[in-house]
């Protein structure tokens, strides 16, 4: 059985007007197989600039988080990305 982890990533957009609703489809489209978005939220900073937080679920494989970070960093709307937390979920996947 493969355990599932959730990473919370903090995304600093390249400019104003880029918020959670902008990033959710962009991230969803580029995540590697076996990964998915659980939640995307935002915090206003100032002057229409938001910090975006995304909770991403992924299988606990070596290097999986690195691949996710690389994919998100490639988006032209991302100026900076920081993984601020990683935790186990209470759910495991596998065949029954």
pLDDT over 80 at 96, yes or no:
no
pLDDT in tens, 14-73: 999 999 999 999 999 999 999 999 999 999 998 889 999 999 999 999 999 999 999 999
Contact 32, 1 (CB under 8 A): no
**Token pair of 43, please?**
């915090």
2-13 and 78-93 strand pairing: antiparallel
Question: Would you kindly state where each structural domain of the chain is located, as residue ranges?
Answer: 2-88
Distance CA 64, CA 7 (A): 11
Contact 57, 9 (CB under 8 A): no
Distance CA 88, CA 1 (A): 14
Q: Which CATH number fits domain 2-88: 1.10.150.20, 3.40.50.720, 3.90.800.10, 3.30.70.60?
A: 3.30.70.60
């Amino acid at each position: 059985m493969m355990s599932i982890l959730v990473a919370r990533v903090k995304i600093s957009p390249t400019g104003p007007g880029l918020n959670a609703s902008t990033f959710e489809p962009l991230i969803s489209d580029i995540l590697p197989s076996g990964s998915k978005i659980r939640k995307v939220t935002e915090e206003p900073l100032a002057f229409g600039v938001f910090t975006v937080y995304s909770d991403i679920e992924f299988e606990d494989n070596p290097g999986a988080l690195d691949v996710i970070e690389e994919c998100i960093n490639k988006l032209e709307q991302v100026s900076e990305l920081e993984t601020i937390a990683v935790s186990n979920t209470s759910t495991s996947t596998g065949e029954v």
